[in-house]
């Protein structure tokens, strides 16, 4: 037992170093969606606010923001502190995944699982440091639920175990609706795995779930079940199960496995494409998909034993999760997120299935395969980082030039700005809200009090990245309505002051 603990601890150390390297490089920069979570955490820590969901929507619970709030209270807010929260949850996921693998398959597959998740492909390396509202957290809670389910399936079951399972399931569902890919397999697994469930077990599980999901349930009862409106995915996108499945197999699987390089697509049309350029060579993807089908076939016997209610069927729990993820995607329009397949991240919970197969190989093949996977993951991380780092000479917003902008605005006594979504959230967070922003392009106003503050300020300025598409459209709008403005260049930004008539310029601009 001491040996396996040392190996897992070593994997945690490696995982920490890898993620800190990401955080300290260009790919670790704060983006606008993360800044929203940072603003939520600030408001929890310093304003006494208690947001239930990510600002501006009726889903994605605020667990991540509540987790960051104590750090902000103790050390003040910063992007690094914010990103340490998903980092910690991702390392917790690593430990829990190793424990799940050990319980089902033994020490060897557990060690392989731990080190794979310590140095994973770029998709998980990057997203395990992104404070985007609940991705690392739902994987952590989902894995905890799997471990509890295996515990409940044992012969000696604590009386309060079902209550804990329900509590974790409810908390996970509030955190992210993706939790359904864990909850459904766990319910099916436990229903088939044991025959001696009592009404008290059902009551305990139900009470635990209601407590864990209380924020989600109370908000929906209060505001007309708004979450149900987003269960099927973003509006305006039709659900085509065959197309979603093809995109999942062609693009999503390859990016999750490290053959493709996950990067935000330049357009929705690209995200909906079957053959995304960063997905990797098609022949390799075909071999990968066939290999993963082989892994599932290897463990198919455990699923048959589970259905027959026979012993030695614990691996079936992971098989159910692996099958549930694509089903949840292809029957909702969330499946279109395959050019950056964050909605398929729970597939990493199935890593122990692959580790178990590799562990059964002869020693030479086993370690050669492990070395090849490590090399692939290292290449994938560096190749993706190069893809995501902005090219030299391209005008873009960065923490450094945003600080220049913040200093300029404060020096000019201009604390309210109109801008695009990507600047608005970050400049508010990084200025500790000494600069308030209202979004006029590329996204919604997430925090309405700030937008109202700007709207009520007569000397608010407009800030846009100079020569960007939005900047050119704004200049064209000025000319169209015959408006006047004083334009200043601040680093990569244009600052439009004293726009007159401002209302006419902003009316209809987006």
pLDDT tens track for 130-166: 999 899 999 999 999 999 999 999 876 777 899 999 9
Cis bond before residue 392 (omega within 30° of 0): no
Residue ranges of the domains in the chain? Answer: 2-388, 399-506
pLDDT per residue over 65-120, tens digit each? 999 999 999 999 999 999 999 999 999 999 999 999 999 999 999 999 999 999 99
Strands 484-490 and 493-500: antiparallel
d(CA 296, CA 292): 6
d(CA 292, CA 284): 12
By residue count, the chain amounts to 510
Burial class (CB in 10 A: 0-12, 13-18, 19+), 47: exposed
pLDDT value at residue 274: 67
d(CA 148, CA 92): 15
The count of other CB atoms within 10 Å of the CB of residue 150 is 20
pLDDT value at residue 393: 46
For 9-49, give the DSSP string. Answer: HHHHHHHHHHHHHHHTSGGG---HHHHHHHHHHHHHHHH--
Burial class (CB in 10 A: 0-12, 13-18, 19+), 118: buried
pLDDT value at residue 269: 59
- Reading across the β-sheet that carries 484-490, which strands appear in turn? 436-441, 416-420, 461-465, 493-500, 484-490
pTM: predicted TM-score of the whole model, two decimal places:
0.95
CA 43, 45, 46, 48 torsion-angle sign: positive
Per DSSP, helices labelled H in 251-396 are 253-257, 268-271, 282-298, 300-307, 315-330, 351-359, 363-388
pLDDT value at residue 235: 67
Take residue 504 and report the two structure tokens written for it.
Answer: 């006419």
d(CA 134, CA 175): 6
Q: Long-range contact list for 394-397, CB < 8 A, 24+ apart? A: 395/465, 395/466, 395/467, 395/468, 395/492, 396/465, 396/492, 397/422, 397/423, 397/426, 397/465, 397/492, 397/493
CA distances from 397 to 45, 464, 497 (A): 27, 9, 20
pLDDT value at residue 270: 61
- Per residue of the chain (510 residues), give pLDDT as tens: 677 889 999 999 999 999 999 999 888 899 999 999 999 999 999 999 999 999 999 999 999 999 999 999 999 999 999 999 999 999 999 999 999 999 999 999 999 999 999 999 999 999 999 999 899 999 999 999 999 999 999 876 777 899 999 999 999 999 999 999 999 999 999 999 888 888 888 899 999 999 999 999 999 998 888 888 888 777 667 778 888 888 899 999 999 999 999 887 666 556 666 677 888 899 999 999 999 999 999 999 999 999 998 888 899 999 999 999 999 988 887 777 787 899 999 999 999 999 999 999 999 999 999 999 999 999 999 999 888 876 554 568 899 999 999 999 999 999 999 999 999 999 999 999 999 999 999 899 999 999 999 999 988 999 999 999 999 999 999 999 999 999 999 999 999 999 999 999 998 787
């Amino acid at each position: 037992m001491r040996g396996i603990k040392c190996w897992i601890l070593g994997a945690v150390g490696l995982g920490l170093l890898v993620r800190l390297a990401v955080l300290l490089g260009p790919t670790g920069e704060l983006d606008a969606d993360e800044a929203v979570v940072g603003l939520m955490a600030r408001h929890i820590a310093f304003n006494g606010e208690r947001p239930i969901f990510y600002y501006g929507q009726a889903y994605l619970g605020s667990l991540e923001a509540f987790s960051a709030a104590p750090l902000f209270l103790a050390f003040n807010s910063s992007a690094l502190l914010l990103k340490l929260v998903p980092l910690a949850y991702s390392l917790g996921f690593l430990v829990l995944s190793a424990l799940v693998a050990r319980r089902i398959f033994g020490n060897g597959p557990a060690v392989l699982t731990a080190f794979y998740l310590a140095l994973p492909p770029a998709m998980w390396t990057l997203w395990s440091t992104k404070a985007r509202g609940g991705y690392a957290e739902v994987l952590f809670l989902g894995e905890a639920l799997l471990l509890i389910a295996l515990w409940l399936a044992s012969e000696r079951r604590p009386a309060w175990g079902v209550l804990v399972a329900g509590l974790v399931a409810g908390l996970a569902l509030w955190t992210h609706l993706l939790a359904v890919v864990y909850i459904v397999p766990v319910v099916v697994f436990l229903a088939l795995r044991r025959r001696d469930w009592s009404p008290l077990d059902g009551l305990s599980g139900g009470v635990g779930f209601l407590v864990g999901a209380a924020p989600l349930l109370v908000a929906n009862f209060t505001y007309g079940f708004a979450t149900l409106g987003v269960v099927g995915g973003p509006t305006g996108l039709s659900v085509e199960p065959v197309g979603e499945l093809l995109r999942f197999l062609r693009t999503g699987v390859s990016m999750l496995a490290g053959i493709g390089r996950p990067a935000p697509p330049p357009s929705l049309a690209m995200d909906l494409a079957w053959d995304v350029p960063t997905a990797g060579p098609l022949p390799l993807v075909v071999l990968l998909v066939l290999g993963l089908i082989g892994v599932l076939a290897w463990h198919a016997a455990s699923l048959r034993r589970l259905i027959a209610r026979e012993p030695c069927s614990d691996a079936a729990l992971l098989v159910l999760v692996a099958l549930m993820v694509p089903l949840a995607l292809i029957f909702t329009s969330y499946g279109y997120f395959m050019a950056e397949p964050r909605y398929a991240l729970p597939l990493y919970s199935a890593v122990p299935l692959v580790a178990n197969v590799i562990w059964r190989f002869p020693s030479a093949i086993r370690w050669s395969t492990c070395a090849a996977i490590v090399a692939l993951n290292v290449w994938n991380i560096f190749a993706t980082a190069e893809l995501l780092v902005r090219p030299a000479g391209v005008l873009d917003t960065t923490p450094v030039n945003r600080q220049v902008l913040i200093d300029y605005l404060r020096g000019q006594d201009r604390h309210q700005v109109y801008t695009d979504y990507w600047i608005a959230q970050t400049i508010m967070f990084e200025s500790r809200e000494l600069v308030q922003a209202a979004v006029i392009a590329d996204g919604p106003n997430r925090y309405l009090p700030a937008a109202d503050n700007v709207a009520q300020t007569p000397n608010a300025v407009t800030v846009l990245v100079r020569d960007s598409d939005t900047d050119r459209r704004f200049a064209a709008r000025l000319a169209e309505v015959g408006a006047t403005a004083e334009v200043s260049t601040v680093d990569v930004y244009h600052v439009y002051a004293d726009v007159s008539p401002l209302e006419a310029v902003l009316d209809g601009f987006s």
